[in-house]
Structure 1
Amino acid sequence: MLVSTPRLNLRPIRLSDKESLFAYRSDAEANKYQGAVPKSINDAGQFIKNTARTPNIAGTWFQLAIIEKESQEMIGDLGINFHKENYFRVSLGYTVAKQKQGKGFATEALRHVIDHVFREMGKNEILVHIDPENRASIRVAEKLGFTDTQNEIVTEMHGQSFTDRIYCLTKSDWLSV
Structure 2
Amino acid sequence: MIGRWQHIEYVIGFNLDRRAFDLLGCMPTVPGAIGAFRRSALREIGGVSTDTLAEDTDLTMAMCRSGWRVVYEEHALAWTEAPTSLGQLWRQRYRWCYGTLQAMWKHRRAVTERGTFGRRCLGYLTPFQVVLPLQQFVYRQLMYLVVIQSVATAVLGVRLRWQTIRREGTFASAPASS
Give the TM-score, by structure 1 length: 0.30
More strand by share: 1
Please tell me whether Structure 1 or Structure 2 has the larger radius of gyration of its CA atoms: 2
More helix by share: 2
Give the TM-score, by structure 2 length: 0.30
